[in-house]
A and B are shown apart, each in its own frame.
Chain A
């Protein structure tokens, strides 16, 4: 009985450390994705054909290639030509670049949903296009995209499990390490699923709440 308890507490401890790293990687990648997504969406809606083309190529390429392939190019590929990243920065770069492409579409939709009259009014009172974007369009667009952002965060949380393939010590990686050490794959992988459930269910409750609230605002 006590051996059983000792093993369970070992599993829980190692998985808990992994969960913290999963949360860090998720939060970090979320921030990188937001920055890249905003910049790329601003390019996509700009008047410069060059900026639009850059944003469009970025989005199309990163959305048509699996995130696992992107991670391997960044971690193993760049590593082999002298740009050696540690697993965690590589994961942040991979998920961030991939997420930025996905968020470009989300932000573009949000910006597109804001009536043109808002921008025109801002410009007519003497704001620059950048000011109009920053103070008029983005704050309103943000409200519209909030539910999609939460859903994106849930997807990101689950996707970070792939960072285990580039040896980032997050939840799935720690679970695999435990399996290698103890050969108790049923217990460990079931616990692993429970950890992910515990992390993503609160987020999806939040997403549902935001969706309800934003659809209410829409009707009003």
Chain B
């Protein structure tokens, strides 16, 4: 058991490192949201080559570990002249990884709106864009938001993998402090507590959203019955 003064010396460093974790998570999440949207749109396009390229990309990302993807970006890209600093490589690897999952989320959100909704909108004379804008998207948002929050939780936890290419975040700091003090037990438990404090509120929120979405869904069904 480390003394309190030792813990007091570690805490500020871990807080700074947790800031690095949050920064990494937010940057990659934004990249994932935007790139995921582009991939989803491209995949739904009528251009065959474009949509099948997106399909292959999604399958590749979902079938290989994030660690392998991180290594490909950090260790392999330099051999074709693209050497990225650790933090940037981690943002790109995590962002592009989650983009594939988010593209699937968007797709299932749009597919989750019953066909009848679209047909009804077109029957009353709405254009395709109007149908998408006023009928489909508002309903798919309700389907999409809970899995998007779950992705945020997974992403937050996955940022720990970036420590394996020495990107500045919480696990890397815990590793460094461990080699300095050789007290892995308290240090990794502290790191775990930091992750818990960041991830648990998000998971409570996700559960609330899921409950709300399910309630909303039930209401739609009872009306249609």
Contacts and interface: CB of A to CB of B under 8 A. Distances in A.
Nearest to A164: B67
Interface string A152-167: 0010001101101100
A204 B62 contact: yes
B171 interface: yes
A69 B160 contact: yes
Contacts of B153: 64
B195 A65 contact: yes
Given A68-B171, A200-B63, A172 B188 contact: no
Contact of B188 (A67, A76, A154, A192): A76
Given A159-B65, A165-B164, A197-B60, A78 B195 contact: no
A185 B71 CA distance: 9
Interface residues on A, range: 35 or more
Nearest to A68: B160
Contact of B192 (A65, A154, A159): A65
Contacts of A162: 65, 67, 161
B68 A189 contact: yes
Given A73-B185, A73-B188, A190 B196 contact: no
B68 A196 contact: yes
Given A66-B195, A68-B161, A68-B163, A193 B184 contact: no
Interface stretch (B72-80, B88-96, B106-114, B124-132): B72-80
B195 A185 contact: no
Interface in A32-70: 60-61, 63-70
A68 B60 CA distance: 23
A28 B192 CA distance: 25
B171 A66 contact: yes
Interface string B167-206: 0000100100010001111001101100110011001000
Contact of B68 (A61, A64, A81, A193): A193
A196 B64 contact: yes
B65 A64 contact: no
Contacts of B189: 73, 77
B119 interface: no
B177 to A, nearest CB: 12
A65 B157 contact: yes
Q: Which 7 A-B pairs have the closest CB atoms?
A: A76-B184, A161-B65, A77-B185, A66-B160, A158-B65, A66-B157, A64-B199
Interface of A: 60-61, 63-70, 72-73, 76-81, 154, 158-159, 161-162, 164-165, 172, 175, 179, 185-186, 189-190, 192-193, 196-197, 200-201, 204
Interface of B: 59-60, 62-69, 71-72, 75-76, 79, 153, 157-161, 163-164, 171, 174, 178, 182-185, 188-189, 191-192, 195-196, 199-200, 203
